[in-house]
Amino acid sequence: MTDSSDSSAPSTAPHADRPVYVIGGGPGGLAAAYALRARGIRAVVLERSDRVGASWRGHYDRLRLHTTRRLSALPGLPMPRRFGRWVARDDVVRYLEKYGEHHQLEIVTGVEVSRVERTADGTGWLLRASGGRELTGGAVVVATGHNHTPRVPDWPGRDTYSGEFLHASAYRNPGPYAGRDVLVVGVGNTGAEIAVDLVEGGAARVRLAVRTAPHIVRRSTAGWAAQYTGVLCRRLPVALVDRLARPLARLSVPDLSAHGLPRPDTGLYSRVNEGSIPVQDVGLIDAVRRGRVEVVAAVDGFEDGKVVLADGSRIEPDAVIAATGYVRALEGLVGHLGVLDPRGRPSVHGAHTPPGAPGLYFTGFTNPISGMFRELGIDAERIAKAIARSGGAGGDGHGISRLPG
């Protein structure tokens, strides 16, 4: 591994000495770099922070993978058994650090890429990075992450709200909220888990603002992880999975309609395809049934120091935590290349490259029910195979740097 003082990434490079640049030192970027290295291709990981796994380091303390240890390992290195079945945040960080060291990956930290362009001759890619760097690569893998930039809705009155307000990305643990009234906005996995964390950590009152009732699944039933079902369903028709999921949900998850969480009208897999992953239960069901987490209407805005809800009511919590997700923030990096869909997501991922952008790959911008880490590993192998076969942006097999020996 190297750091920001490393000078192995020159500002210019002949056609025969152009590495594959991997933008992002998270699990997707590291897996792609390993898969390329395993095929004798030089890959340089560019990480904007000072260490790999930056997004994982910033997650809340109690976070654990909702996927099993065995199915979350990246290619070439199993996760240690001592991590347990559901791997904790700090162990994920340790694993990512070890992964880079074990595979002797070439990682340059402290370098942020702001723009990716085709080279003037069309045979490679030019990366404009911090410090005035201009790096030329034979191919580029964008792995900046699904959770890149916190998203906060443009609620009316938000700018003048004087109460304590933070995005979930800034939440660490329930300590500062003991004995306080807290509103959590958003019922994805993050919002659900933070609400439970607050209850268990001694918050006096916890309310959860919900706009659309989520699908809730048990993380594990009689030892069978929800991820296993996700893997089995990955390639099945959406309508079939929707039909199968309904009776299973009735058997495994109680009806919470009386508590403000009715069963969703739309199918589980249909919602997944719209970008809404089921909430894995880590205590939310019990907390809602016991009244320890109160479900309230969605937030519509802020007014006179109060939170205005969609049902017209106004509440005045001590703190508001917005678990409202993230945006990919790829517009400045690659938006000018015409490779993003209307929602700002890459139009392709994995081994596919966008039309008119040969040698440009994306990984980690989907959130599959079969497990993010598992799919990142699969994508890494496919991307490396595609690059080895095509030879990068030029497509002639001669534009990519090879490792010695």
The string of pLDDT tens digits covering residues 380-389 is 999 999 999 9
Q: What is the pLDDT of residue 384?
A: 97
- Examine the pLDDT at 300 and tell me if it is beyond 80: yes
Write down the CATH superfamily of domain 20-148+328-390. Answer: FAD/NAD(P)-binding domain (3.50.50.60)
What is the rounded CA–CA span in Å between residue 212 and residue 95? Answer: 35
The string of pLDDT tens digits covering residues 114-160 is 999 999 998 999 999 999 999 999 999 999 988 889 999 999 999 99
Q: What is the pLDDT of residue 273?
A: 83
Q: What percent of the chain has pLDDT over 90?
A: 85
Q: Class of the 151-322 domain?
A: alpha beta
The string of pLDDT tens digits covering residues 335-355 is 999 999 999 999 999 999 999
Task: Write down the domain spans for the chain.
Answer: 20-148+328-390, 151-322
Q: Do domains 20-148+328-390 and 151-322 have the same CATH topology?
A: yes
Tokens found for residue 68: 């099993």
Q: What is the pLDDT of residue 9?
A: 44
CB neighbourhood size of 255 (10 A) = 11
* pTM of structure: 0.91
Q: What is the pLDDT of residue 352?
A: 96
- Examine the pLDDT at 11 and tell me if it is beyond 50: no
CB neighbourhood size of 119 (10 A) = 17
Q: What is the pLDDT of residue 336?
A: 97
The string of pLDDT tens digits covering residues 155-183 is 999 999 999 999 999 999 999 999 999 99
Q: Residue 5 — very low, low, confident or very high, per pLDDT cuts 50/70/90?
A: very low
Q: Residue 394 — very low, low, confident or very high, per pLDDT cuts 50/70/90?
A: low
CA 183 to chain centre: 24
The mean pLDDT value for 175-199 works out to: 97
Q: What is the pLDDT of residue 311?
A: 97
Q: What is the pLDDT of residue 275?
A: 79
Q: What is the pLDDT of residue 8?
A: 43
The mean pLDDT value for 364-375 works out to: 92
Q: Which of 6-10, 224-228, 296-300, 359-363 has the lowest mean pLDDT?
A: 6-10
- How would you classify residue 345: left for phi > 0, otherwise alpha for psi between -120 and 50, otherwise beta? beta
Q: What is the mean pLDDT of the chain?
A: 92
Q: Residue 404 — very low, low, confident or very high, per pLDDT cuts 50/70/90?
A: confident
